[in-house]
Structure 1
Amino acid sequence: MPAPILPFWQVNVPPSLREQECPEYLLDISEKDKRIIGTPDEDFRPMPWPVVKDLIRTNRIDLFERRPTDLRKYRQYTHKLAQDYGSVMNFVLKERLQWTDLTPRGAPFTIPDDIKILYNDWPYGIDSSIIHLVIWTKFDLEEDPEIDDLTPAAREEINTFVDQTFCTKVPPEDVVWFKNWRSLKSVHAVEHFHVMLHDPDMEFIKNITNSDVPLAAKVGIQNGSHQ
């Protein structure tokens, strides 16, 4: 006899802990998130480095996904942050960036205090050999509204920064970066872009993030596994 089909919010939850009604933090989420959360963890496969690079090269960053139970924890945690701080953005500014003033002191990428490099707090379901960092900036990264993408000048500025900051310590073929489409951003008011590094020297990561610890590590969210 086939197993009963569970509502998405009951998947990956022990029978004794299953709620009959969808919890508040999973209401009004996208169909994509419902599909992911409703997928058994054992059916999920972390993305290896070649797949990660290809998604970024083809600008299909919408295909990144978190492990089902990790996405559930992410939704639950950020829901509580919004209740406690008013918004996730307020939490990021106060606790993660500790910035009280977002006015840049100089031109883009010229003043270290206008930039902060931290771990991505909520990792995608990627191989654990991949380190995912977020580069937060007080200055704008100019976009072309007609294509919802960076202008060539802004892209060149980021390329130069990434080359000088990361590619001097990690082989260039093991470094990629991307900027989320506006529709995919979870934090809109603070400019940022993402850098992924394949199997970097962890002492370098410790130094460049000032020994940062991602929130996911504190609440038990995984970062994939080696294939």
Structure 2
Amino acid sequence: MGDNSVNLAPAAEDAPFPLTATDQWVLSQTDEEYAYHTWDGLRTIIQHNDLAVLKRKPSDLRRYMKWTAATKAEYGNMTKYLLAHRLPKAWGSPPFSPVSDTPFADPSDYCVLLNDWPYGFAPGITHIVVWTRTVIPTDPDTGDMTAESRKTVAEFVKRYFVDSLGGPGAAEDRVLWFKNWAALQSVRALEHIHVLVKDVEPAVLQKWTTS
């Protein structure tokens, strides 16, 4: 049986971050009822920019809510926690002073980490978060990336992830990426993108996240 204890997290109305309609639906489920995101399904979600439907397994979402509430109580906000434990000390505190004003142009301006709280994916899919101290421009009206930002990020993902898997062709079908709209971000003060990879060896994941 899955871990379905509803006491693992605060009540939905006391959630430590805004719950989407998808989150609220997930919390009404058991782990046995949950349908994992498949690779083809994720490709469709990202192609249609339908990011609000991304979901965690019910027990994982409850644990994430509980952990977020405890972390905010101890550190004040998620940014302080990440700066203290996950991101380079050399970055200092916001507002940052990146080496380059172009996102992902200088390696010292970004940090590649495995996601501590991934969405509920089918086996073989790994969730990576790339944090950057360089601002990624967004449309102020929609909160989504500008066309130029999308091009910049796509070029970085190809260079850093796709090319290391063998370049164009089959490797491109093993890498997806997205940037949550501002309204969906749980850590808005720190710029980041999400990268999903399929069937990547642990040694390669380690190389990406320790470079």
Which residue does 1:100 correspond to in 2?
92
Answer whether contact 2:174 2:197 (CA < 8 A) is retained.
Answer: yes
Which residue does 2:30 correspond to in 1?
40
Answer whether contact 1:25 1:75 (CA < 8 A) is retained.
Answer: no
Name which of 138, 142, 152 aligns with 1:157.
152
Answer yes or no: is 1:144 the counterpart of 2:139: yes
Q: How many residues align?
A: 195
Q: Which has the larger radius of gyration?
A: 1
Q: Following TM superposition, by how much is the alpha carbon of 1:174 offset from its aligned partner in structure 2, in angstroms? A: 1.2
Q: 1:24 to 1:64 in 2, by over 3 A?
A: closer
Answer yes or no: is 1:114 the counterpart of 2:104: no
**Between structures 1 and 2, the one with greater helix share:** 2
Answer yes or no: is 1:80 the counterpart of 2:66: no
Q: Following TM superposition, by how much is the alpha carbon of 1:37 offset from its aligned partner in structure 2, in angstroms? A: 1.7
CA deviations over 1:20-71 (Å, ceiling 9, x no partner) = xx96464433354333122111111211110011101110111111000000
Which residue does 1:166 correspond to in 2?
161
| RMSD (Å) for aligned C-alpha atoms | 2.0
- What secondary structure sits across from 1:169 in the alignment? helix
Which residue does 2:14 correspond to in 1?
28
Q: 1:105 to 1:127 in 2, by over 3 A?
A: same
Aligned-partner Cα distance in 1 for 2:112–2:45: 23
Which residue does 2:209 correspond to in 1?
209
Structure 2 length as normaliser, TM-score? 0.85
Q: 1:39 to 1:196 in 2, by over 3 A?
A: same
Answer whether contact 1:26 1:76 (CA < 8 A) is retained.
Answer: no
Which residue does 1:196 correspond to in 2?
196
Aligned-partner Cα distance in 2 for 1:162–1:201: 18
The one-letter code sitting in structure 2 at the alignment partner of 1:91 is Y
Aligned-partner Cα distance in 2 for 1:139–1:23: 34
Give structure 2 stretches of 5+ with no counterpart.
166-170
What percent of counterpart residues are identical?
32
- What secondary structure sits across from 1:188 in the alignment? coil
- What secondary structure sits across from 1:209 in the alignment? helix
CA deviations over 1:66-115 (Å, ceiling 9, x no partner) = 00000000000010000111111210111111442421012322211101
Name which of 8, 12, 16 aligns with 2:4.
12
The one-letter code sitting in structure 2 at the alignment partner of 1:28 is D
Which residue does 2:58 correspond to in 1?
68
Which is further off, 81-90 or 142-151?
142-151
Q: 1:110 to 1:67 in 2, by over 3 A?
A: same
Give structure 1 stretches of 5+ with no counterpart.
1-10, 212-227
Q: 1:25 to 1:114 in 2, by over 3 A?
A: farther
Aligned-partner Cα distance in 1 for 2:10–2:34: 25
